[in-house]
Amino acid sequence: MATTTSTSSSTATITSLGVGSGLDLDSILESLEESKETSLLDPITAQEESVDAEISAYGTLTSALTTLQTAVEALADESLYESVTTTLSGSGVTAATTSEAEAGTYTLQVTQLAQAQSLTTDGIADKTTALGTGTLTLQVGTQDAVSITLDSSNNTLEGIRDAINAADAGVTASIVSDGSDTPYRLVLTSDSTGTESEMTVTYTSTDSTDEASSLFGYDGTTGNMTETVEALDAELTINGIAISSQSNTVEDALQGITLSLSATGSSQTLTVAQDTDAILEAITAFVDAYNDYVTTVDELTSYDADTETTGELLGDSTTRRISSELSSDIYSAIGSGTYSYLSQLGISLEVDGTLLIDEDALTSALEDDADAVSQFFIGTDDSTGFITQMSTDLDNYLDEDDGLIVAKTDSLESKLEQLEERYEEKQALIDSEMARWTEEFTQLDTLISELNSTADYLTTQFDALNSDD
C-alpha cells in the first residue's frame, strides 16, 4: 500500500513509505489488510453469496409452482368439463355451442332459407330528374313507421335513395339500371329476413303533378311497387320436428346450440359430444407441470457426493413442507365416486416421484364416463375433488401478500440486508486500523530515516577525526 508522505527533519525527507527505512512497508501493510479482509469480510461475502443463491433458487421454485398452479386452475374450471364438440355429416349448416349444450345426436334437414323482401319501382329515364314533393312513409313489420319528407333538396331518384338510407328505417335503398329506355329503378330491401320483416310503403303528395305518386306504394299485397323477392322464413326439421325461424341463425331450437343455415339439402346428422380432447389436454398439461416441479425440486435439493456440491435448497424446511404437502395431495384418496385415485384414470406414480400417463387408459375413462372424471377432479356439491386441495395449497404458497414463499424470501432479503450492514461495519473497522497502521509505519519510517542520517553524520565525523590523526 503506497503512501506519499513528507516528513521534515534536519537530515532527511520521506517521499514514499519505506524509502527512509529501506523496509518494504507497503507490502507489509497490504498483507495486513488482506489478512483482515480474509478473516472479517470473506465470511460475510460467502454468506451473502449463499443467501443470493437461495433467493435465486426460490425464484426457480416459484416459477415451477406458478406453472403448476396455472395447470391446476385449468383442471379446476368447471367449464372445461362442460365443453362439447359438434360434427355434421353434411354441408349447409354449422353449429356453435355454449356450456348449456347437451350431448346428443340430431337429424337435421333444411328445406328453405330465410330471405329478405325486396320491392322495386317502375323505371324512369333520368335518376336526377325531380319527381315532386310529398311524404314517403316506410314501415318494416310491426316496427314504428318512418316518414321522409321529399322536397327540392332530395326529390330525385338519387336523392330519395340517400334519404332512405339515412333514415334508419330498417330498409336499404339502391338504384338498379335494367338497360331499357327507362332503366332506373329504386329497389328497397328489408334489412331483416323473414315474414315478420315485410315492408309497407305509402306516399302522400303535396304536388298533384308529381311523378312520385305513380312510383311508390305497397300495402303488403298490391301497390305501385312490385315485390321482386318474397320474404321467407327459414324452415327445417330436427328429428322430424318442423322448425321455423325468421333468420338463418336458429338459436332456440336446441339448448345451448346455435345453428347457422347457408343452404338447403338432404338430411344430415349433428352429433354433440363432450369435448374429451380438451379434458385430456388439460390433464396432460397438469402432469407435465407437476413433473417439471418435481424435477426442479430434485435439482434444488440435490447432493453430489463425487463433487461434494449441494443444491441451494438442500435441507430447506420450507421446500420440504411444500414437497410433503403436494405429495400428500397426489397420494390421497378422493371421495367415494367411480374414481378415487389418479391411478384409476391411468396416471401412475413413478419411483422418482413423477407421474406417468397411460393415454389409452385415460382416454377410455373419459369416453366411458366423463362425468365421473369431472367429479374426481372438481368434486360435487357434497364432496371436494382431487384438484381442490392442491389448488388451496398452491394459493397458500404463492399468495403475493402473505404466501409461504413470500414470507421466506422476505426473510432472506432481510438477512441479506443485515449481512450488508455487517460488511460495511467490518470494512469501516479495517479502514480505521489501516489508517492507524499507516500513520505508525510512517512514523517508524521517519524515525529510522533520521537515525540513519544521524549514523551517517557520526560516521563522517569519526572518519574526519581519524584522518586528522
pLDDT tens per residue, range 238-262: 999 999 999 999 998 999 999 999 9
Q: How far apart are CA 182 and CA 186, in angstroms?
A: 12
Q: What confidence tier does 9 reach under pLDDT thresholds 50, 70, 90?
A: very low
Contact 404, 318 (CB under 8 A): yes
- Sign of the C-alpha dihedral computed for residues 337, 340, 343 and 347 taken in this order: positive
Per-residue pLDDT, 25 = 66
C-alpha distances (whole Å) from 126 to each of 41, 152, 182 are 100, 16, 8
Q: What confidence tier does 209 reach under pLDDT thresholds 50, 70, 90?
A: low
- Grid cell 505508525 is found at 440
Domain boundaries, the chain: 15-83+275-448, 84-114+234-274, 118-229
| 418 phi and psi angles, rounded to 5 deg | -65, -40
Q: Give per-residue pLDDT as tens, 413-428.
A: 888 888 787 877 877 8
Does the pTM surpass 0.75? The reply is no
Q: How far apart are CA 93 and CA 296, in angstroms?
A: 50
Residue 16 has pLDDT above 70, yes or no: no
Q: Which of 44-58, 82-96, 223-237 has the highest mean pLDDT?
A: 223-237
Q: What confidence tier does 439 reach under pLDDT thresholds 50, 70, 90?
A: confident
CATH fold of 118-229: Immunoglobulin-like (2.60.40)
